[in-house]
Amino acid sequence: MIRAFLALPLPDTLIHRLTVLQHGLRLTDPVPRENLHLTLVFLGEQREPDLEDLHIALDNRRLEAPELQLTGLDVFGGQMPRNLHATFALTPGLKALQAKVTQLARHSNIAIKARKFVPHVTLARFAEGEASAPELAARIQQQGAVQSDPYLIPEMVMFRSILRASGPVYDPLASYPLLP
């Protein structure tokens, strides 16, 4: 079994911007720069033949490159924050790409949980009780407006996720060029 996901890698200029934000937010355990990406669909633990079927389906499609536009900072978990992330605009191109790859995964015998797609890049994860919602809100407020011009993303990647005590390691399994 392989734990995998489909994601958009980020351009170096955006990664730099996000790492500056991580530093400015004074995060004790930020997500490493090499792990910054925007997940389109989490595939979970899958059999290799099912991932191969999905790979063939993706390799035979010409999907359009979406634009990514940074829109702010937010948390998942409300008063018990478990994740601090950068938010991105849900553009028509991004929404269409996410829907298409989800559909292709399902046609490849991969069960995808139905959930609302919220485009984001995780900047930090927190254990239960590790982060204070009011303190994070104050730090986010101090950052002021967090926005960017749109970036056209030219590829999508299928990653293997290996969970380790020191944090996850993401290995690219395949890359798919996206049409401008």
Active site residues: 37, 120
What is the identity of the amino acid at 9? Answer: P
Check: CB of residue 78 under 8 Å from CB of residue 104. Answer: no
Rounded CA gap, 136 and 127, in Å? 14
How far, in whole angstroms, is CA 66 from its chain's centroid?
Answer: 14
- In angstroms, the CA 24 to CA 131 distance is 16
Cβ(141)–Cβ(25) below 8 Å: no
| Strand, coil or helix: 159 | strand
| Angstrom distance (rounded) from CA 125 to CA 30 | 8
